[in-house]
Every structure is written in structure tokens, then in C-alpha cells.
Amino acid sequence: MGRTASGRAFGLAGIVVVAVSIGAAHSDAPLWALTAAGAALVAWAAAEIVPARSPFLVRAGLLVVVLLGSGLAALPTSIIGLVPALIAVIATIGRTDVPLAVGLAGATGCAAVVSVVGAAGGQPLTLVAVAIASLAIAVLAGLTRRQARAASDRERERAAEHLAMQTERARSAALDERARIARDLHDTLAHALGGLVVQLDAVEALAEAGRVDEVLVRVQAARTLAAEGLADARRAVDALRDPLTGTVAVADVVRSITQLAEAARGLGMTVESEVPTPEPGATVRVGAEASDALTRLVQEALTNARKHATDQPVDVRVELTTREIQVSVANPRTARPGGELAASGSGRGIPGMRERFDRLPGARLRIDDDDPESFRVAAHVVLA
């Protein structure tokens, strides 16, 4: 029956119309038929009023009363008494939350009651046929309504799934962006602040030894390093606001790696570098994001060596082929503790490297972290 306010209003109006029609045109019908019709109408009215979440047995009982009473009253009232059954069949079959078998069984049972009443009371076969045909039409109408509701339900489910997918994509994008911000800030701050720690340690040692002239040189170097760190931080923030796109000349990548090696030497590290010199006018390029990943790899590897392999030489190599650029950084391990600088590590450097290169199509990253004697990281990036 109707579940909305308007549906219930139409249902109650229909009850009044059927009751008036039976009283006006068939008041001379047998008492048992009028009683059956009245019971069907009362059950119909109750079905319109009871809450949708009422117990199943209550709703099933009302449905049985409607179908049975309407089936008994159908022929004596010239089909008018069958209207409650027709409405019940359409409503029951048309609801997707009710098993289809329930509605079909109800329609079949009502048709059987009509047939028995027709056979027992000698009713015209034509009238019996019209009643059964009306029930069949009600079944078809209910099936049509059920299909429409099923299609609407599927559409709502697809819309809900699409919304959930969009929400998950937005959440995943936000997490990826947070991870990118964390990587950039980690690489920038770890490199700059780690270098400052090295310079300040040297300043302290020189001051204790009374070597004032060298202290001044170290302080100036520390100031330069701090300025470079601020510039790196600004570039990282700019990259966050405007993601890296386009391509970069391989010569610029090589130049950035060379500058990182020279800066590490300025901090007292022993860095052996083998970096090719691009030919003048060469137009070989690499993706901007790949360029950043390679530069950050060298920066992070040098920072790790400064922290965990104190006083050990570091080997930086860049190789160019017709299809890709290869960058590797290696250093021996040391048993000497790194002190406060080593303890300051967050453990996010290596995972950050992997995350960067996982985002690059065709890129390969290899980290040899199992060798007890040395550490090596190598990356291969396809040229643009």
C-alpha cells in the first residue's frame, strides 16, 4: 500500500470510493459478501495507517485479509469488491523489498477464491473471467512498477558507488599530496640542517683549539649553507604550489648533481664524482619530475653518508645513454657512530626515494641496503 503521505491519502480516498460504490449499487448483496468486503476495506485502511516498520506478521495478516475478503466479495459486487485485492497485488509485487513470490502467491490465492465462489454460487463465467483477467493485469502492473523501482535502486546504488569512489580518490590524492610535501620538506631540511650541524661542530672544535681564523671561515660557510637551505625551502614551497611539469635539459640535471657534490666537499666530505659533460648545444631532456627525483636522490644519499658513514668516501656517478640517464651514489659503511647527527634521522629518506621513483613511468630504483660493507643506491630514468 502507499508508503508516502500522498500515497496514503489516495489509498484512504480509494477506500471511501469503493465503500460508497458497494453500498450504493450492491446493498442487496449477500451479508457474507458485504461482511467480506467490509473486512477487506478495514484491512486496507489499517495497511495504509500502520508504520512501514511494523512486524512482518502484522503486515502479512492484513494482506491475507485484504486478498481473502476481496476475493469473496468480488463476484457478488460485480468486481467492485475486488479493487482492494488489485491494489494490494500491485503494491506488493511492485515493492522490491518484498519477495516477488509473496505477491504472486497472493494473486494466485485470490484468483482461486474467486474461482471457488464463482463455481459454488453459479456466477457467470464471463464475470469470473473478468475478475481473473483483472488480477492478471494487476500482476503485470506490479511487475512493471517493480522493474522501475529496481532500475531506480540500481541508479541510486551506482550514484552512491560513484560518490564513494570520488571521495576515495580525493582522499587518496590528499594523502599523496601530504606524502609529497613530507618528502620535499624532509629532503630540504635534512640536507641544509645536517650541513649546518657539521659546520657548527667544526666551529666548536676550532674554537676550543683557539684557531680563530678558521672559525671565521667556518661561520661564513655556515651562513652560506643556511642561505642555500632557505633558497631550497623556497623552491620546495613553490613546487608544492605549482607541481612540476614539462621537461628539463639533462645538462641542468648534471649541473645540479655537480653542485651537490661540490657542496658536500665544502663540508669536509670526500666525494669522488664521475659526471659526463654534455655536449654544447645538446638538446637531450628529461621530465621535470624525474629531474627533481634524481637531484633529491643524490642529496639524500649524500646526507645519509654524512650522517651514517662519517669520514668515508662517497662515489657519485652519472651515465648517459641514448634512452636514459643513470645516477648512482655509493659509500662504504663505517662502524663509527654518527653521534647526534645520525640520531636525528627520521627514517623517511629511503622510503621517500622509493615513493618518488614509483611515480615515474619507466623509472627503476635499486637500493643495495643488505651489504654489510657498503651502501649503494642507483636510479635509471627514461629520457623525454
Q: What is the tens place of the pLDDT at every residue in 316-348? A: 999 988 889 999 999 998 755 455 544 455 556
> CB 372: neighbour CB atoms within 10 A?
6
Average pLDDT score, the chain: 82
pLDDT given at position 138: 94
pLDDT given at position 6: 73
Confidence at 223, pLDDT banded by 50, 70, 90: confident
- Of 132-146, 276-290, 354-368, the poorest mean pLDDT is in 276-290
The CA–CA distances, whole Å, from 48 to 4, 138, 261, 334 equal: 10, 19, 83, 84
324-332 and 314-320 as β-strands: parallel, antiparallel, unpaired?
antiparallel
Each residue of 41-87: pLDDT tens digit?
Answer: 999 888 888 877 778 888 889 999 999 999 999 899 889 989 999 99
Each residue of 240-289: pLDDT tens digit?
Answer: 555 667 888 998 899 889 988 988 887 778 999 888 876 665 678 899 88
- Of 98-107, 197-206, 349-358, the poorest mean pLDDT is in 197-206
Q: Are 78 and 35 in contact (CB under 8 A)?
A: no
pLDDT given at position 136: 95
More confident residue, 212 or 301: 301
Cα–Cα distance measured from residue 85 to residue 64, given in angstroms and rounded to the nearest whole number:
10
Q: Give the CATH number of domain 246-384; options: 3.30.565.10, 3.90.45.10, 3.40.50.300, 3.40.50.1220.
A: 3.30.565.10
pLDDT given at position 190: 62
Q: Grid coordinates in use for 364?
A: 627503476
- Of 31-35, 108-112, 179-183, the poorest mean pLDDT is in 179-183
**Degrees, nearest 5: CA angle 218-219-220:** 90
> CB 163: neighbour CB atoms within 10 A?
10
Q: For the chain, give every domain's residue range.
A: 5-164, 246-384
Average pLDDT over residues 120-141: 91
pLDDT given at position 343: 46
pLDDT given at position 348: 67
Q: Are 271 and 314 in contact (CB under 8 A)?
A: yes
* The overall pTM is greater than 0.85: no
pLDDT given at position 294: 93
Q: What is the CA radius of gyration of the chain?
A: 42
Q: Are 26 and 77 in contact (CB under 8 A)?
A: yes
Confidence at 222, pLDDT banded by 50, 70, 90: confident
Q: Nearest CA to 72 among 14, 137, 1, 131? A: 131
Q: Is the pLDDT of residue 212 over 60?
A: yes
Average pLDDT over residues 182-195: 65
Q: Are 98 and 92 in contact (CB under 8 A)?
A: yes
Average pLDDT over residues 162-182: 78
- Of 191-195, 257-261, 304-308, the poorest mean pLDDT is in 191-195
